[in-house]
Amino acid sequence: MGHADHAHIGQRVLRAEDERLLKGEGRYVADFEPAGTLHAAFVRSPYAHALIKRIDASAALAMPGVKAVIDAAQMAGYLDNLRMPLGWPSKDLPPDITPYVLTPSEVCFVGEPIVMVLGDSRYIAEDGAAAVEVDYEPLPVVADACAAVLPSAPKVRLEVPGNVLKEFSVGHGDCEAVLRDAPHVFREKFVQHRGGAHPMEGRGLLAHYEPQHATLMLWASTQMPHELQFTVAKALGLQDSMVRVTAPDVGGGFGAKFVIYPEEIAVAAAAYHCRQPVKWVEDRMEHFLAAIQERDQFWEVEIACAADGKVLGIRGSMLHDQGAYTPQGINCAYNAATAVTGPYSVPAFQLDVKVVQTNKPYVIPVRGAGYPQGTFVMERLLDRAARELGIDRALIRERNLVRKEQMPYTKPLKARSGRHLVLDSGDYLGAQQAVLQAVDYSGFRQRQQAALAQGRYIGLGFAHGVKGTGRGPFESGSVRVSANGRITVATGAMAMGQGLNTAMAQIAAQALAVPVQDVHVISGDTAHISMGIGGFASRQTVTAGSSVHLAALEVAAKIRRAGAHMLQVPESELQLAGGAVVLTADPSRRVNYADIARILRGIPGYDLPPGVGAGLEAVVHWEPTDMAYVHGFHACEVEVDPVTGGVTLLRYVAMHDSGTLINPMICEGQVHGGIVHGIGNALFEYMRYDEQAQPQSVTLADYLMTTATEVPRLEVMFTQSPAPSNPLGVKGIGEAGTIPVTSAIASAIDDALSDFKVRVTQIPVDPVWLAGQVADAERQALGQANT
Amino acid sequence: MTKLDAASRHDLTLHVNGRPQAVSVEPRTTLADCLRQELGLTGTHLGCEHGVCGACTVLVDGVAARSCLMLAAQAQRHQIETVESLAEGGQLNDLQQAFRELHGLQCGFCTPGILMTLTELLKYSPEGSEQEVRVALSGHICRCTGYENIVKAALATLAQRGASHGPR
């Protein structure tokens, strides 16, 4: 170790994944098709709320190629419970809140699966699904989360006592007194929408029972292979070892695959029951209808400030639209609430949250997981206060940021685990200053005036964002040296496009002083490692990375012990280099890893080297104690057309601190993607429902995702403040880029339209709304001029 | 007029990646499904089946087309090229290599379609500007990369080919 040629961590190592993917040799779930595969299609509710009165499958069953039509009653016979288990069991939530595998009697959102049809092809299965007749009795619909809490509101499900799923408060300090006595208080209402996750590969599962191993094989596009294994095993009454989940190439997750879905249980149950492969690959419309979304939050908040802009307190309420069911928990709402004060020191904070049910698909976090919304509230309030108090937007942030010298900074807020939130490391102000210098903030007013003289409205906006990453309780990492001397790493972490396998290979290669190419990484296969949590919450490099690092160090220690015995020298005289343990004083005396691995596999009749143990391998389940907080500061320049409300991004600069970077190339890519996801949330992505909760945007032509023409060059810089809480000093990266984007763009739009006193309070920014704000301001100005 | 139904089959000869291929498909079988299921060319991906996301893009007589919006039967007598045709002798071509070196892909699902559109661009607009590259890419959705490194890889390939062909 220590040799430059072994320093893999921090290098821009090209990704091991790419060559196959570029040749079209990637293998996603849809690409697997064992002989005899039956294809599943689902009959889905066309109503947002209705009773199922009758199901007639006779016409479908008569169609050639339709092999089975399975309704809730039949499905119930295959399962321990027709209702999905609550993903993360919690005593804080009421009972009976999860969706059904197939809904027996009452449908509660458009797209809810009722019947599964199995056919010889997807074409035939869809024909069959279209031929299943279902009679419904429509029920009153709860389409609007704000109306859902009114006493007159109909019930979202007949079984619920009320539409409010859960109320909770977070906060600290005496907000009441602070707000009463503060010299300045400003109130705002914010409406924040985030659409769906929309990985380019949708959900999908292929299930196949292999009788010779008594194993149900699942090829799954999932973020949580072990959770899927455990959930399917329990539902079918099997032990875990009889279900094997293999995630092949996964075409993105972004939250869409961060839950176990009814369709997955249905497909697994059908394959197990029919003893025939069953495959379901959702189409995009199904993703719009029935995959998770993040959707709507309605905030009413007030900020109390001193005249110098020092924040004294923030108080408010938030209403979170959870949808019809709660398959996993309410962490999206909780994250948003606890994320508000972010990188700032706020003496008093009080937020009252209502999680409300509506007749819409259920909410699970999308990339960012509530943090962008909490951040938006804080950054918008600071902009508002700055404007009202006549303080520069950069200065008001400077006056409230937690400083480098205050780190680690314990916030008086608690995570769901009960632990305090601790900002562990970083230089937030330094990042702000660096980025504002890069965008020539001090010269911007002049440029803005010059543009205005040409009739162009340009604006500069910026925002901070922090997020706790590396969520526990653990992730698994195993490191094994094969008898050919090469290294195999297995982890319960899940690769879905990030380059996880390359990063894990770099970590193992560094500890074992081998080329990165000598490390083979297996992720997402429950047969290779018995436990795992999976890919979400920007957690994997922190948790799996630490486990792989520590496991590799254990293997390295074993190599030294075995080498010392075989060379008959003290361990202290040995070093690892070039795939061998080498006598430092005489490099000709060496033992290859391959030889040690072969000996530690055991030779019948001969003893193992003493004190080493069998097998050149180690498994570690590293448990984080504290979250590693990532920070980003973003600045962007926009041009707004005040007539059309069109917003054009002219420049985008970001500085991120994700601690030690394992692979800066991959990290840049993660931030690029995160930023553009945020641009979509700021300007384009809107999952529209009508007043009957009928989805109105069910193609990518209606639901707009950001394309290359809307994105300027993305300028991304890094600082590296190592996280103190893990052995590599790493922090998460996957969601980091998304957190500050909506805030920065809103701030830039405000700035561009400051002549009109426009304030962006809702996202995505609808151009018609924006143009309307400008027109209103002009009318008012005209009215004042005329009086 | 003959009534088409799902049970009837069309026997077609498609010209895919320079080779004639006999297939028997339903009248309604899309070109994408035919390529994937009948010919095993699973490099062409389906992201939306509405003709919007661009993942299924192939070249039809050298022109980028959505294989999810085209019937297999319509592809008869046309030359179809898919992502599997790009690597030369098993080696990544210059565009693919640029994607690899500049990190122009993450999950890889949208990548084949994007490579086909850029293959068309490289052929017909060898001096394409960044704006032309972005306009060509605007028919594709990528959730992972933010397009930044895709644009860089396309521009690098354009520049490299321009340099190797000498001044025009």
For residues A592 and A575, give the distance between their C-alpha atoms in angstroms, rounded to a whole number.
12
Average pLDDT for residues B2-12, to the nearest whole number? 73
The tens digit of pLDDT for each residue in A515-527 reads: 999 999 999 999 9
pLDDT reading at B1 higher than 60 = no
Phi/psi of residue A785, nearest 5 degrees: -65, -30
- Tens digit of each residue's pLDDT (9 = 90 or more) over A311-343: 999 999 999 999 999 999 999 999 999 999 999
Q: Is A350 left (phi over 0), alpha (psi -120 to 50) or beta?
A: beta
CA distance, residue A403 to nearest chain B CA (Å): 31
Buried b (16+ CB within 10 A) or exposed e, A264-302: bbbbbbbbbbbebbbbbbbbbbbbbbbbbbbbbbbbebb
Identity of the residue in B108, B135, B148 whose CB atom sits nearest the CB atom of A672: B148
pLDDT, residue A574, reads 97
* Local confidence band at A745 (pLDDT 50, 70, 90 cut-offs): very high
Q: Which B-chain residues 137-156 have CB contacts (< 8 A) with chain A?
A: 137-151
In this prediction the ipTM stands at: 0.97
User: Side-chain half-sphere of A595: how many Cα atoms within 13 Å?
Assistant: 13
> Does A334 lie at the interface with B, CB-CB under 8 angstroms?
no
Average pLDDT (A34-45) is: 98
Domains and CATH numbers, chain A: 4-25+472-622 (3.30.365.10), 428-459+630-787 (3.30.365.10)
Q: What is the pLDDT of residue A781?
A: 87
- A209 burial via Cβ count (<10 Å: 0-12, 13-18, 19+): buried
Residue A498 has pLDDT above 70, yes or no: yes
In the stretch 654-713 of chain A, residues with CB closer than 8 A to chain B read 665-666, 668-669, 672-677, 699-701, 705, 707-709, 711, 713
| Cis amide linkage into residue A138, ω under 30° from 0 | no
Kindly tell me if the per-residue pLDDT of B168 is higher than 70: no
Of B29, B41, B103, the CB nearest to A669: B103
Taking an 8 Å cut-off on Cβ atoms, the answer to whether A27 and B42 are in contact is yes
Phi, psi (deg, nearest 5) at residue B6 = -60, -30
Q: What is the mean pLDDT of chain A?
A: 96
Amino acid letter for position A197? A
Chain B residue nearest residue A663, CA to CA: B103
Q: Residue A5 pLDDT more than 90?
A: no
Predicted pLDDT of residue A526: 98
- Predicted local confidence at residue A283, as pLDDT: 97
Q: Collect all residues of chain B within an 8 Å Cβ-Cβ radius of residue A201.
A: 45, 47, 107, 109
Residues in chain B with CB shorter than 8 Å from the CB of A33 are 37
Residue A459 φ then ψ, to 5°: -145, 155
- Mean pLDDT value across residues A580-600: 96
Task: Give dist(CA B40, CA B21) in Å, integer.
Answer: 12
Instruction: Sort out which chain A residues have CB atoms less than 8 A from B141's CB and list them.
Output: 200, 700, 705, 707
- Confidence (pTM): 0.97
Query: What's residue B163's pLDDT?
Result: 83
Residue B2: pLDDT band by 50, 70, 90 thresholds? low
State whether residue A23 sits within 8 Å of chain B by CB: yes
Q: Which residues of A touch B96 (CB under 8 A)?
A: 22-23
With an 8 Å Cβ cutoff, are B144 and A23 in contact?
A: no
Confidence of residue B166 (pLDDT cuts 50, 70, 90): low
Residues of chain B with Cβ-Cβ distance to A284 below 8 Å are 47-50, 53
Q: Render pLDDT for B118-147 as a digit per residue (tens, 0 to 9).
A: 999 999 999 999 999 999 999 999 999 999
Q: Could you tell me which residues are beta bridge partners of residue A300? A: A189, A317
Strand segments (E) across A565-644: 574-577, 580-583, 590-592, 617-622, 628-640
Q: Which of B50, B87, B112 sits opposite A700 (nearest CB)?
A: B50
CA-based nearest distance A523→chain B, Å: 14
Give, as one character, the DSSP assignment of residue A67.
E
The whole-angstrom separation of Cα A613 and Cα A603 is: 13
* Domains of chain B, earliest start first: 10-85 (3.10.20.30), 94-165 (1.10.150.120)
Residues in B closer than 8 angstroms to A662, CB to CB, are: none
Residue A260, Cβ density class (10 Å: 0-12 exposed, 13-18 middle, ≥19 buried): buried
Q: Which amino acid is at A571?
A: E
Extract the tokens encoding A485.
Answer: 């001397």
Q: In whole angstroms, what separates CA A727 from the centre of its chain?
A: 24
